[in-house]
C-alpha cells in the first residue's frame, strides 16, 4: 500500500536511504524538515507489516505548474518487485492532483539502470548539471509531461543564473542576447556591465535594479533590434523610494535614458503588451524579456525580470534567473518553467501602479552596424 509518510516512518526512511545511496544521503533532520513542508509530499510503500520499503519525495514550485521528484529510493531487499514503478506512478498522480503539468528529476549520468527506468517511464533528458553530486558526478536532468498539452513552442536559450540579488534584469538580457548572438559572453562580467548601464540607481533598499529604459539602451548599443513596451509614462518604481533626494535622482536618470533612447532605433510603445504579440514575436525570432512581480513565486513583492522561452495552448514557459537555494531550488526549477497563461498575465505587473514592462530583443536588420559600445 502507498500512503503519505509520517514521522513514525523516519527510522525506515533512514534505513532505506543508507541502503540505497553511498553519497548525498538525507539525514534525520532532512526528513523531518521535508515531511512537514507545505510544498513537499513524501509517499511510502509499506509491506504487510506496515514497514516502509520505498519512498518517493516531491517538491512543488509555488506559482508554477512544475513538480520535482526530489528523491526516490527502494530498499535493496524489496527491489525487482515493482515498488519503484508504483512509487513513481503515485508521485506523478500526486503531482497531477497538485495541479502540476510537468515532472522533473535529476539522475546520475553514470547510473544506467536508473536512467533506463526513467526513460521507459516517459522521461526525456533536457540538460546536464556538471559536478552536481558530492563526488563530482554530473546529473542528467529529465522531464515528463503529466497532462495533455499542445506541442510546446520553445527556442533554445541557454540558462544563466544571476550572481547577485539585484541583477535579474541584466541576467535576463544576457540570456536573450547570447541566444541571438553566441559571441556575446554569458558570464558575470557581461552581467555586471549590463547592470551598470541599465540600473535605475535607487530602488527599494540597497543597490538599484534594472528598468526597461536602461535595458533597452544596453541591448541597442550592442546592435540588437529592440521593441520596448511600458504601461506607465511617469516615474517608474516611484513607490519603491521615500527619500525626495533619491526620487529626484531617479527622475534625472529616467529622463537621461529617454533622451538617449530617442536617438536610437528602439521602438518605444507606451502601453501594455499582449501575450499573443509576445508569442508571435517569439515565432519570428525575437526573445521577450518581461517584468513580473515575484510575489506569486516566492511571496516577496519585488520587481523581477524573466525571459520568455516558449508557449503552448495552456502555458507560458520562462527562464527565471533567480535560484533560491534556501528553498531547495536548483537550476532545474528555473529553466523552461511552465506558467499557466492566466497566471502569467496576473504576475506580469508590478506595484500600486500595476506597471507592465517588456522588451522584445531581436537580431538587427542587415546593414545596421553596431555602435562603438557594442561588445
* Residues 120-152 pLDDT 10s: 999 999 888 889 898 999 999 999 988 765 445
**Residues 34-92 pLDDT 10s:** 898 768 999 999 988 888 999 999 998 877 889 999 999 999 887 888 899 999 999 99
Asked if residue 195 and residue 137 are part of one domain, the reply reads no
Supply the pTM of this predicted model: 0.78
Question: Does residue 369 register a pLDDT over 90?
Answer: no
C-alpha cell at 57: 519525495
Domain count for the chain, please give it.
2
For residues 311 and 253, the answer to whether their CB atoms sit within 8 Å is no
233 band by pLDDT with thresholds 50, 70 and 90: confident
Enumerate the β-bridge partners of residue 59.
Answer: 40, 68
For residues 226 and 266, the answer to whether their CB atoms sit within 8 Å is yes
373 band by pLDDT with thresholds 50, 70 and 90: very low
- At what angle are helices 188-198 and 168-180 packed, to 10 degrees? 120
Residue 368's pLDDT is 56
Q: Is residue 306 part of a domain?
A: yes
Question: Does residue 281 register a pLDDT over 90?
Answer: yes
- For the chain, the 3-state helix, strand and coil shares in percent, each to the nearest 5, are 35, 25, 40
Q: Which structural domain, as residue segments, surrounds residue 195?
A: 168-362
313 band by pLDDT with thresholds 50, 70 and 90: confident
Residue 312's pLDDT is 86
Residue 79's pLDDT is 81
Q: Is residue 89 part of a domain?
A: yes
Asked if residue 172 and residue 290 are part of one domain, the reply reads yes
Q: Is residue 238 part of a domain?
A: yes
- For the residues 106-110, what does the mean pLDDT come to? 94
168, with CB counted inside 10 A (0-12, 13-18, 19+), is buried
Question: Does residue 284 register a pLDDT over 90?
Answer: yes
Asked if residue 343 and residue 291 are part of one domain, the reply reads yes
C-alpha cell at 136: 563530482
Q: 77 φ, ψ to 5°?
A: -75, -10
**Residues 15-27 pLDDT 10s:** 999 998 888 899 9
CATH number for 276: 3.90.70.10
CATH number for 122: 3.40.630.30
Sign of CA dihedral 291, 296, 297, 301: positive
Residue 202's pLDDT is 55
Asked if residue 268 and residue 197 are part of one domain, the reply reads yes
The Cα–Cα gap between 1 and 24 comes to 27
**Residues 144-188 pLDDT 10s:** 988 765 445 556 899 999 999 999 999 999 999 999 999 999 999
For residues 161 and 331, the answer to whether their CB atoms sit within 8 Å is yes
CA distances from 240 to 75, 93, 203, 209 (A): 53, 42, 6, 11
Question: Does residue 205 register a pLDDT over 70?
Answer: no
The Cα–Cα gap between 371 and 375 comes to 9
Residue 278 per-residue DSSP state = H
SS3 at position 232: coil
Question: Does residue 371 register a pLDDT over 50?
Answer: no
Q: Is residue 274 part of a domain?
A: yes
Q: Is residue 152 part of a domain?
A: no
331 band by pLDDT with thresholds 50, 70 and 90: confident
Q: Is residue 256 part of a domain?
A: yes
The Cα–Cα gap between 135 and 42 comes to 26
Asked if residue 143 and residue 86 are part of one domain, the reply reads yes
Residue 336's pLDDT is 86
Asked if residue 178 and residue 128 are part of one domain, the reply reads no
- For the residues 267-280, what does the mean pLDDT come to? 93
Residue 235's pLDDT is 86
- For the residues 183-197, what does the mean pLDDT come to? 95
Asked if residue 119 and residue 48 are part of one domain, the reply reads yes
Asked if residue 340 and residue 229 are part of one domain, the reply reads yes
C-alpha cell at 34: 521535508
- For the residues 231-258, what does the mean pLDDT come to? 84
Asked if residue 184 and residue 248 are part of one domain, the reply reads yes
Question: Does residue 317 register a pLDDT over 70?
Answer: yes
pLDDT, averaged across the chain: 88
Q: Which of 95, 116, 147 is the last residue of a domain?
A: 147
295 contact partners, CB below 8 Å, separation of at least 6 = 301, 302, 347
206 band by pLDDT with thresholds 50, 70 and 90: low
Sign of CA dihedral 160, 161, 167, 172: positive
SS3 at position 14: helix
For residues 319 and 335, the answer to whether their CB atoms sit within 8 Å is yes
Q: Is residue 322 part of a domain?
A: yes
Asked if residue 138 and residue 188 are part of one domain, the reply reads no
Q: Which of 147, 177, 193 is the last residue of a domain?
A: 147
- For the residues 313-336, what does the mean pLDDT come to? 84
> CA geometry: angle at 20 spanning 16 and 21, to 5°?
120
76 contact partners, CB below 8 Å, separation of at least 6 = 19, 20
Asked if residue 175 and residue 141 are part of one domain, the reply reads no
The Cα–Cα gap between 105 and 141 comes to 6
Q: Name the pairing type of β-strands 267-269 and 337-340.
A: unpaired
Asked if residue 236 and residue 357 are part of one domain, the reply reads yes
The Cα–Cα gap between 16 and 36 comes to 19
Residue 375's pLDDT is 39
Amino acid at each position: 500500500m502507498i500512503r503519505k509518510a509520517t514521522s513514525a516512518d523516519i527510522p525506515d526512511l533512514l534505513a532505506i536511504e543508507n541502503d540505497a545511496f553511498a553519497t548525498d544521503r538525507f539525514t534525520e533532520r532532512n526528513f523531518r524538515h521535508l515531511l512537514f513542508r507545505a510544498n513537499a509530499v513524501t509517499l511510502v510503500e509499506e509491506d504487510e507489516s506496515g514497514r516502509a520499503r520505498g519512498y518517493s519525495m516531491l517538491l512543488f514550485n509555488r506559482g508554477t505548474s512544475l513538480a520535482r521528484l526530489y528523491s526516490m529510493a527502494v530498499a535493496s531487499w524489496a527491489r525487482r518487485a515493482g515498488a519503484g514503478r508504483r512509487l513513481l506512478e503515485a508521485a506523478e498522480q500526486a503531482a497531477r492532483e497538485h495541479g502540476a503539468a510537468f515532472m522533473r528529476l535529476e539522475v546520475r549520468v553514470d547510473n544506467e539502470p536508473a536512467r533506463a527506468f526513467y526513460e521507459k517511464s516517459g522521461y526525456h533528458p533536457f540538460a546536464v548539471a556538471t559536478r552536481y553530486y558530492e563526488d563530482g558526478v554530473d546529473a542528467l536532468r529529465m522531464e515528463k509531461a503529466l497532462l495533455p498539452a499542445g506541442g510546446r513552442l520553445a527556442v533554445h536559450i541557454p540558462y544563466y543564473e544571476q550572481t547577485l540579488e539585484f541583477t535579474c534584469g541584466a541576467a535576463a538580457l544576457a540570456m536573450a542576447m547570447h541566444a541571438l548572438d553566441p559571441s556575446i559572453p554569458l558570464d558575470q562580467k557581461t552581467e555586471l556591465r549590463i547592470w551598470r548601464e541599465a540600473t535605475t540607481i535607487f530602488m527599494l533598499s540597497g543597490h538599484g535594479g534594472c528598468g526597461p529604459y536602461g535595458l533597452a539602451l544596453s541591448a541597442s548599443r550592442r546592435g540588437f533590434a529592440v521593441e520596448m513596451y511600458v504601461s506607465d509614462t511617469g516615474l517608474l518604481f516611484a513607490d519603491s523610494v521615500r527619500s525626495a533626494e533619491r526620487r529626484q535622482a531617479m527622475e534625472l536618470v529616467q529622463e537621461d535614458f529617454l533622451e538617449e533612447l530617442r536617438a536610437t532605433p528602439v521602438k518605444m510603445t507606451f502601453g501594455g503588451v499582449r501575450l499573443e504579440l509576445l508569442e508571435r514575436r517569439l515565432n519570428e525570432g525575437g526573445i521577450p524579456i518581461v517584468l513580473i512581480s515575484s510575489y506569486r513565486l516566492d511571496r516577496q513583492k519585488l520587481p523581477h525580470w524573466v525571459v520568455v522561452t516558449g508557449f503552448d495552448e495552456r502555458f507560458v514557459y520562462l527562464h527565471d534567473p533567480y535560484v533560491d537555494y534556501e528553498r531547495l531550488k536548483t537550476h532545474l526549477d528555473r529553466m523552461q518553467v511552465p506558467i499557466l497563461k492566466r497566471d502569467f498575465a496576473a504576475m506580469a505587473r508590478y506595484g500600486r501602479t500595476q506597471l507592465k514592462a517588456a522588451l522584445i530583443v531581436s537580431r538587427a536588420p542587415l546593414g545596421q552596424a553596431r555602435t562603438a559600445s557594442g561588445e
